[in-house]
Copies of this chain bind each other. A is one copy, B any other.
């Protein structure tokens, strides 16, 4: 079946008459397995662009707590799938893409045959549970489609998805003992007690509804669902993990067999179907954060039929529409695959978070109507403000506008006067530092992409930046820096706050609020307060005004930085790189410092502290596998050694991204790693989001077209491009030579052409 499908695609696109240099079917270049090995933390399953349903195999049931203690191994399973595993536990419907903490993994469904088993078993002994062995040779994935042969059961499993509905097609070898297991105790970052409540109703012999409520990273998350079966259920039942203290049911019914209500804290349900004919069993699984009624609406609207192949095609078409927003010609087919895989990963989150009728669950847990926007969730902002949202400002301006509106709705619904920090599924999980909704909003405004109430946006940003109880902000406001003795990771916080403050200035300038602009202009200089001139590094300061005595600029733990050290997190002043460089001894000395960063030898111990990256993600002490250094390669352009940027960018593009399961050198972090690749390949990067400027790097493409709003196109032509022509001889914008390494956003947005002439030697 799935082979036929590939053939259809091949034929379909063969007849398309695209300009030859750009791919007709970019979806065919996407490798959903890239980054599924080790630390990429992406998943290979089926999803629509920005879809809430991300239906993907989970290859182990690793628990976050074992005997009440944190189990480090759980980290590998942030997205549920690890390429090296040999078994699949089932297919769950929600995943994070590339995160370094996790949750979700909702509604694990596994088709089985033969003896009914309601526990997942182990990888070593899959036969003790419902899981199955599989081989990558019998596995395939493309945007919106995933297929695997479940060896232990002889079941060919295929998955596809629309935004809110997942669809399964299970082709059984003929059997009369086919089961669908719905394990509501399964989940990612799971632990005993994570489930708050599970609730199921067999509405009729083909329709199941219910919800699962969990406490995890999202403290109070309820996911409603409706599951439609293409064949009548013959028998069903469930295992309740704990016994209820007080239950009237048992008096009247045999509650655990063919009883249409199943509810408890932890439930594993099973459904028997007749697979003795040759018809595959199909399931449609619709999600909603609002209600089972909402899930039903979603199902009826998005997949009102049983044509699995039609859903695959429609979602692939939708993917091609999104992927085509940047059309590139590159030097190698591998680069093309890496590029479009990055595009694919960049468009997996945030996800749509309202029902088809616009209803959604807000942060206050009330149901709201999304009025004039689509509500989104999964905001990993400490990561994504850097390059992902800037990318959206070019090629997803409407979605980014909606994302900003979703953030403002979050603000309106929050009992804290704060925009999202790291939010998902109507919850704030407070992960990482800063208030990085602010630069996202500012960058959208600067790009002219926000059509909401500007004053409200500014007010939300100012209130967020002034919420004293949050993470040292009170001290920051009083002292001009976060004191390490009051709030750890104080240097990272001070640097990020100062940058965020700068972006408020940018909004205030648009709104025309000069008081706010002035006040935050002052705050944006606070990075100076944590710079220790004597040692030439950013350094934690105490509340008495003195620098902390004990200090190791190489150490990534307890030295005032989070997930970094004074070297790779201490150069973070994107809004005033010139001043920082001056402060740190001037251009020449700073360029040398950067050289050292990329070449210094560091011992394993210092790397081991950083759980988010692997050895592969490191060049010297530069860590590409994590975010705070993503601007660093571009810092050379502020010295007299821009060739350093060109060299490092091309090195990273070449070495840190591959078309292979281990193709990502660290967490993709909801697309931030991928967005870095996309921008850098195109030859420029949002060094300082919300500044209205991009910094020129070194393109990897030969040609590209960026499709902007209102049908405008920004073209990139690269002359003399080759693997050893990594340096830039000249850059022309619409035929006119660029005077410096700055590319104004306004120029891109107008549409036009950027021409690079490459060279073997740096200037």
Q: Contact at A201–B245, with CB atoms within 8 Å?
A: no
How far is B88's CA from A261's CA once the two chains are assembled, in angstroms?
39
* Chain B positions within 8 Å of A193 at CB level: 245
Closest-CB distance, A290 to chain B (whole angstroms):
9
Contact of A211 among B215, B244, B365, B469 (CB under 8 A): B365
Question: Does A629 interact with chain B (Cβ within 8 Å)?
Answer: no
Q: Contact at A64–B245, with CB atoms within 8 Å?
A: yes
Question: Does A136 interact with chain B (Cβ within 8 Å)?
Answer: no
Return 20 A-B CB contacts under 8 Å, by A number. Answer: A65-B245, A191-B245, A193-B245, A196-B197, A196-B265, A199-B365, A201-B364, A201-B415, A202-B415, A216-B246, A248-B422, A248-B429, A251-B471, A253-B469, A253-B471, A260-B415, A261-B415, A292-B366, A293-B367, A367-B367
Closest-CB distance, A424 to chain B (whole angstroms):
11
Q: Contact at B201–A246, with CB atoms within 8 Å?
A: no
* Chain B positions within 8 Å of A119 at CB level: none
Contact of A203 among B248, B259, B263, B415 (CB under 8 A): B415
Question: Does A249 interact with chain B (Cβ within 8 Å)?
Answer: yes
How far is B292's CA from A231's CA once the two chains are assembled, in angstroms?
40
Copies in the complex: 2
List which A183-240 residues lie within 8 A (CB) of chain B. 189, 191, 193-194, 196-197, 199, 201-203, 209, 211, 213, 215-217, 219-220
- Take A292-B364, A430-B249 as given contacts and tell me if A215 and B199 are in contact as well, using a CB distance cutoff of 8 Å: no
Closest-CB distance, A692 to chain B (whole angstroms):
31
Question: Does A674 interact with chain B (Cβ within 8 Å)?
Answer: no
* Chain B positions within 8 Å of A367 at CB level: 291, 293, 367
* Chain B positions within 8 Å of A366 at CB level: 291-293
How far is B212's CA from A344's CA once the two chains are assembled, in angstroms?
41
List which A452-497 residues lie within 8 A (CB) of chain B. 469-471
Question: Does A252 interact with chain B (Cβ within 8 Å)?
Answer: yes
Q: Contact at B197–A430, with CB atoms within 8 Å?
A: no
Question: Does A247 interact with chain B (Cβ within 8 Å)?
Answer: yes
Q: Contact at A219–B247, with CB atoms within 8 Å?
A: yes
Q: Contact at B194–A220, with CB atoms within 8 Å?
A: no
* Chain B positions within 8 Å of A220 at CB level: 197, 199, 263
Question: Does A416 interact with chain B (Cβ within 8 Å)?
Answer: yes
Closest-CB distance, A102 to chain B (whole angstroms):
10
How far is B470's CA from A365's CA once the two chains are assembled, in angstroms?
36
How far is B64's CA from A292's CA once the two chains are assembled, in angstroms?
33
* Chain B positions within 8 Å of A600 at CB level: none
* Chain B positions within 8 Å of A246 at CB level: 64, 189, 191, 194, 215-217
Q: Contact at A196–B196, with CB atoms within 8 Å?
A: yes
Closest-CB distance, A295 to chain B (whole angstroms):
10
Residue of B nearest to A368 (CB): B293
Residue of B nearest to A258 (CB): B469
- Take A253-B469, A415-B202 as given contacts and tell me if A263 and B219 are in contact as well, using a CB distance cutoff of 8 Å: yes
Question: Does A608 interact with chain B (Cβ within 8 Å)?
Answer: no
Closest-CB distance, A204 to chain B (whole angstroms):
9
Question: Does A651 interact with chain B (Cβ within 8 Å)?
Answer: no
Question: Does A519 interact with chain B (Cβ within 8 Å)?
Answer: no
Residue of B nearest to A200 (CB): B415
Question: Does A431 interact with chain B (Cβ within 8 Å)?
Answer: yes
Closest-CB distance, A432 to chain B (whole angstroms):
9
List which A716-736 residues lie within 8 A (CB) of chain B. none
Contact of A292 among B248, B260, B263, B365 (CB under 8 A): B365
How far is B367's CA from A292's CA once the two chains are assembled, in angstroms?
10
* Chain B positions within 8 Å of A293 at CB level: 364, 366-367
From A219, A249, A293, A422, residue with most partner B Cβ within 10 Å = A219
Closest-CB distance, A492 to chain B (whole angstroms):
13
Closest-CB distance, A294 to chain B (whole angstroms):
9
Q: Contact at B415–A194, with CB atoms within 8 Å?
A: no
* Chain B positions within 8 Å of A209 at CB level: 364
